[in-house]
Structure 1
C-alpha cells in the first residue's frame, strides 16, 4: 500500500514512512499511525498547528493494483486567537 499526503506532508510506501521526503515545514509534526495503515485508515495527524498550515490537503492511496487509486481531500481552517504569555 502506498499513501501520499501531498506537498509532501507525509508519505508511506515500501512498508515504511518516507520522512526524508517530507517538506521541512512539516518535520516532526505529523503522525500516520501504523495500526491504521494495516486496516486502510490513512488519517493524518498534524501537531503544533499554526495559521500557515491552513489550506487544502490531498491524500492519494494506491495498492498493488495500478488501477486501484483513491483520492480524497480535506480543507483545514484555523480558528482562534493567538495567545501571549
Structure 2
C-alpha cells in the first residue's frame, strides 16, 4: 500500500512512514495511525494547526497494481480569533 499527498505532508510506502520526504513545515505535526493503513484508512491527523495550513490537500492511495489508484481531497479551513500578544 502506498499513501502520498500532493503536498509532502506525510508519505507511507514500502511498509514504512517516509518522514524524511516530509515538508519541514509539517515535521512533528502529523499522525497516520498504523492500524488503519492495512485496510486503506489514510486518516491523517494534523496537529498544531495554523493559518498557513489552510488550503486543499489531495491524497493518493494505491496498491501494488499501478492502475489501482484512489484519490481523495479535503479543503482545510481555519476559523478562530486572531490572538494578539
TM range (shorter): over 0.9
Cα distance in 2 between the residues matched to 1:8 and 1:61? 14
Displacement of 1:6 after TM fit? 2.1
Uncovered stretches (5+) of structure 1, i.e. residues with no partner: none
TM norm structure 2:
0.95
Uncovered stretches (5+) of structure 2, i.e. residues with no partner: none
- What is the CA deviation profile of residues 16-73 of structure 1, one whole-angstrom value per residue up to 9, with x for unaligned ones? 0000000000000000100010121001100000000000000000001111001110
TM norm structure 1:
0.95
The Cα RMSD (Å) is 1.0
Moved beyond 6 Å, runs of 4+:
none
